[in-house]
Chains A and B, each alone.
Chain A
Amino acid sequence: MKSLVKFLATLALAAFLPLAPTAQAQDGGTLKIGFGGALLGDTASYGLSNLYGIEYAAAQVNAKGGLLGRQIEIVTEDDSCRPDLAPEAALKLANQGLKLIMGHTCSGATRSALSSYNNRVILISSSATEVALTEDGASPYFFRTTPRDDAQATIQLKYMKQKGYKKVAILHDKGDYGIALAEKMQNDIKADPGDIQIVLFQGITSGEVSYDDVVSLLRQNEAEVLIWGGYYSDASKLIMQMRDKGLTTVVIGPDGLYNPSFITLGGTAVEGSVATGQADLSNSEAAKAAIADHNTRHTEEIGPYFFYAAGAAQALFAAVEKAGTADDLDAIKKHLTEDTVETVMGPVRFDAKGDVIGAAFALYEIKDGNFSEIKMD
């Protein structure tokens, strides 16, 4: 009996502990903005690229006297892009009383973080592309400045038609991201096939010791082009084995391939492969100024998401300023969806689902070891 009481007391204590920080309200000094995303591990470069953009936007505002008269301070939590770590990172941020959070970096981590935030905060991601995040309507305070995965298939299909490819093989890595992309492409082709015929639709096992059997399948089905749903590591292995066996099938992949590591790993074998990626925004005057400003703070490159993150943060800051409060989620949401804000990534306004209006992907071909944009009309 005594031990039972002890046990229950411990349980009660344990239940109260995590709640303790909630009571701690934001102090009047700085205005804290949270950032949840990958800062460690092999996806850290993505997270840092996001963080740099947010830092830039915050520094601009701080130089002009801050937001609502307060200096912006960025509080970071790492989730390593892992869905199992993201809820903890999310709770750490939300329990500090933060209401405005940028992130998360990857789709899977964002999904699991959203359930931890439980609609208590405004969350804006600049790199989570999974369609369902906004489409399912479960998260009214979630917004994103990156285009969604379903836009990738659209532009890829347009490119294939332009090139006149007829026999298409679709392969995915059996992961959430890969399957979603592959199925979207399959549905798009079925809806409007033109001359295109899907000769193969299959999943392959990630991390396999050899993909020779998959290479044989591609050859057997005489695929002219391979649509890949997945990340760069498996893709580079598969492509190298294809080229080893003399198979010249063109590979078109998602933004998971739009990463310098893809070229480093794949070497000359991935030459001529095509990847969708976020449109390159670095050419405007505002963007150039932002890069120069970034270079005064960091030696690292800005990375692929810098402008999307800076644009997201600028839109958020503008909405908070107009709403006159950093705590009323509905008031901030109203301004995010109704006002168009001029940002470093161009004009930003969100639709009712939380997607940014007018975001698009671009196509990049690997030429001489670099991504070069394919101009399409």
Chain B
Amino acid sequence: MNFFLDLFMSGLTKGSIYALIALGYTMVYGIIALINFAHGEIYMIGAFTALLASMVLGSLGLSGWGLLLSVAAIAAVYSAMYGWTVERVAYKPLRGSSRLAPLISAIGMSIFLQNYVQLAQSPNFLVFPDLVPQIDFLAPVARYISRTQLVILLFTVFSMVGLTVFIKFTKMGMAMRAVAQDQTMARLAGVNIDKVISATFVIGSILAALGGVLIGCSMRQISFYIGFIAGMKAFTAAVLGGIGSIPGAVVGALILGFAESFAAGYVSSSYKDVVAFIILIIILIFRPEGIMGQAQTQKV
């Protein structure tokens, strides 16, 4: 039973991180039907920004929760700027061209950002400071849930609630839903499409940056390459949940997290990726549109 709980918590935290990144993929896809391959890189830039911010703020004497929250805020803002710029530079000029052009542009952007960080920062693994303060009341249950895991879960839950409120109850959120349903109609109704698309990239980037900060705290080392695996897994989660669907991304991410964790525990960690992806394939065979995705009707 203890073992099961261990694995459950491990799957939950893994899934939470995948979810934060997967939301960016799925939101962008929902709005402009583009798979933003540079998204994993935004996550990596979030982690690097957090590292730099924590050094500066730490030397200014900030510590504890204040440090963690302000570092997360700075990383979110900075990554949001990156997300916005990437859209303006690499995708906007290609809007209306063939569907493959922005896809290639996205891959190019991903490679560019990776190499840029490698050259501008460091090709090595860098030490990420332990930003999560000690949480005393956790000590008796630290075996099941470490303080970092708790913080990851809290951050994820708050982000999800915030995102839901934003999408459901704000004007921009409503505009996003409108653009996702029918871009032309939304434009006719007076929605500023450019603004909505930019906002989508900004929000996706903020979530990815939070993921970057959290994974930095958990692994305590980062490199220019971390965006690749995390991005790959998150993208998988988004497809699994039904790309374009926001709750789907969360469900897909959690399924992937649990599948990996339980496969590692009950089958073998050597085969956990195999098991996780077999589950993915089976789900996609029976529901090609993903768990919560909507089937696209082909227009002839």
Contacts and interface: CB of A to CB of B under 8 A. Distances in A.
Interface residues of A, number: 32
A202 B268 contact: yes
B56 interface: no
Contacts of B13: 210, 212
Interface in B262-277: 264-265, 268-270, 272-273
B219 A261 contact: no
B225 interface: yes
B10 interface: yes
B127 interface: yes
Given A202-B268, A204-B269, A213-B269, A233 B226 contact: no
B127 A265 contact: yes
A41 B223 CA distance: 13
Interface centre among A41, A208, A264, A267 (most CB of B within 10 A): A208
Contacts of B272: 205, 213
Interface in B178-223: 215, 218-221, 223
Interface string A189-208: 00000000000001111011
B261 interface: yes
A219 interface: yes
Contacts of A326: none
Contacts of B149: 212
A261 B125 contact: yes
Contacts of A216: 3, 6-7, 10, 265
Contact of A205 (B127, B146, B220, B273): B273
B7 A213 contact: yes
Contact of A203 (B17, B125, B270): B270
B260 interface: yes
Contacts of A205: 229, 269, 272-273
A220 B143 contact: no
Contacts of A203: 269-270
Contacts of A240: 219-220
A353 B221 CA distance: 41
B142 interface: yes
A28 B129 CA distance: 57
Contacts of B270: 174, 202-204
Contacts of A209: 14, 17-18, 215, 218-219, 229-230, 233
Contact of B146 (A42, A208, A219, A245): A245
Interface centre among B9, B215, B270 (most CB of A within 10 A): B270
A216 B6 CA distance: 6
A265 B219 CA distance: 10
B265 A217 contact: yes
B118 to A, nearest CB: 9
A219 B6 contact: yes
Interface string B211-255: 000010011110101101110010000000000000000000000
A265 B222 CA distance: 10
B221 A265 contact: yes
B102 interface: no
Nearest to B11: A213
Contacts of A207: 225-226, 228-229
A209 B221 CA distance: 11
A246 interface: yes
A202 B215 contact: no
Contacts of A214: 264, 269
Interface centre among A219, A244, A267 (most CB of B within 10 A): A244
Contacts of B6: 212-213, 215-216, 219-220
A32 interface: no
A323 to B, nearest CB: 41
Nearest to A240: B220
B123 interface: yes
A226 to B, nearest CB: 13
Interface of A: 41-42, 171, 174, 202-205, 207-210, 212-217, 219-220, 233, 236-237, 240-241, 244-246, 261, 264-265, 267
15 contacts: A171-B269, A174-B270, A204-B269, A205-B229, A210-B10, A210-B17, A212-B9, A213-B10, A213-B14, A217-B264, A217-B265, A237-B220, A240-B219, A245-B143, A261-B125
List the 10 closest A-B pairs by CB distance, nearest first.
A212-B10, A216-B6, A203-B270, A213-B264, A244-B146, A213-B10, A213-B261, A202-B269, A42-B124, A220-B3
Given A209-B14, A217-B264, A267-B127, 8 more contacts: A202-B268, A208-B229, A212-B146, A213-B269, A219-B3, A219-B143, A245-B146, A261-B125
